[in-house]
Amino acid sequence: MVKENLKEVISRVEAACKRSGRKPEDVTLIAVSKTKPIEMIEEAYSAGTREFGENKPQEMKEKYEVLPKDINWHMIGTLQRNKVKYVVPRASLIHSVDSLKLAEEIDKEAKKINKVMPVLIEVNVAKEDTKAGIYTEELMSLIEDVSRLENVQIKGLMTIAPYVENQEENREIFRTLKQLSVDIAEKNIDNVIMQILSMGMTNDYEVAIEEGATMVRVGTGIFGERNYGNLS
Ligand SMILES: *Cc1c(COP(=O)(O)O)cnc(C)c1O
């Protein structure tokens, strides 16, 4: 099932690229494997996927230990400071930095292992109070503060758009994130590159790509519905 779903998602990604005059190789598909068993990840892996997204540090750690080392792990979930130490050595990108305190903890752990940790700043574009992410008004000053940390590198922005029935309703959100990244890039801040825009999930990744996403995070569309009840 995973293989067929992947095929379908990849062909939709390609179609969205075509519609918007973009190259498919400029969009990275992250298979969001949170709550899903090793066997399903292996199925996606054998179909060629190397980018996987997890939202729980402990779960990422457990999967990391048993799966091939050429996988790139993406931490996409809200990160508590006391869990940063599990993530920094294993993740290739942390998508969910939304405070200076969190960035400082990442910097501290990265220093210990001589790593410069690539991160995205998570923006709460829609100002949903149930969601993580910094508001757009505070984004610039957070970026300036984080840019001074030596073992953290800002590589772009991430957002989680609201759940909507019709993905068109999120187009404006994606457009706003894209515009923010253009504005920030123009400021030429040391240690900040605006190369990655992580936006779009199962329900809205096609519109996100049309609006400039370079990473889309698709879980349900690849692995099927999640059953949180089965989690230990
Ligand atoms: C779970 C999750 C996803 C994937 O959601 P689907 O709707 O299953 O594609 C993407 N991004 C984040 C941050 C998530 O937590």
Does the predicted TM-score (pTM) go above 0.85? Answer: yes
pLDDT in tens, 150-193: 999 999 999 999 999 999 999 999 999 999 999 999 999 999 99
pLDDT in tens, 188-197: 999 999 999 9
Question: Does ligand 1 lie within 6 Å of residue 55's CB atom?
Answer: yes
Helix, strand, or coil here: 197?
A: strand
Instruction: Write down the architecture of domain 2-223 according to CATH.
Output: Alpha-Beta Barrel (3.20)
- Residue 232: pLDDT over 50: no
Q: For residue 19, give both structure tokens.
A: 């519609």
Residue 114 alpha carbon to ligand 1 centre in Å: 30
The pLDDT of residue 227: 84
Q: Could you give the CA distance from residue 16 to residue 22 in angstroms, rounded to a whole number?
A: 8
Residue 32 alpha carbon to ligand 1 centre in Å: 6
For ligand 1, what atom is nearest to the CA of residue 203? 7
CA atoms lying within 13 Å on the CB side of residue 2: 20
Question: Does ligand 1 lie within 6 Å of residue 216's CB atom?
Answer: no
CA atoms lying within 13 Å on the CB side of residue 223: 26
Give the residue from 139, 144, 141, 159 showing the smallest Cα distance to 191: 144
